[in-house]
Amino acid sequence: MPRYTLLFAPDGNGEAQQLECVAPDPWLALEKSRKAIGRKTIELREGDRSFGHFRHGLPAGGGVWEISPRT
């Protein structure tokens, strides 16, 4: 199964966090990590490939994601 990396933007201390997730596809990696992501913006990656930036949309817990293209 593919391994995905969720990269969080650096916090106030300048330290970026990341979370590893194993899932059959990128969508399920996001859904499995929903609680850890909260309302933060993350970049979803599989190896060197970026799927873009994601943020959980409103209403919270509604399964809606805001998506920004990869840069």
Q: Total structural domains in the chain? A: 1
Of how many residues is the chain composed? 71
Phi then psi dihedrals of residue 6, to 5 deg = -105, 115
- Does residue 23 lie within any of the structural domains? yes
pLDDT at 39: 84
Report whether pLDDT(71) > 70.
no
Give the C-alpha separation, 57 to 22, whole Å.
Answer: 23
- Token output for 48: 């060197």
Expressed as residue numbers, the domain containing 30 is 3-53
- Does residue 71 lie within any of the structural domains? no
Average pLDDT estimate for 8-30: 88
Report whether pLDDT(12) > 70.
yes
pLDDT at 70: 64
Specify the pairing of strand 41-46 against strand 3-8. Answer: antiparallel
pLDDT at 9: 82
- Does residue 11 lie within any of the structural domains? yes
pLDDT tier at 22, thresholds 50, 70, 90: very high
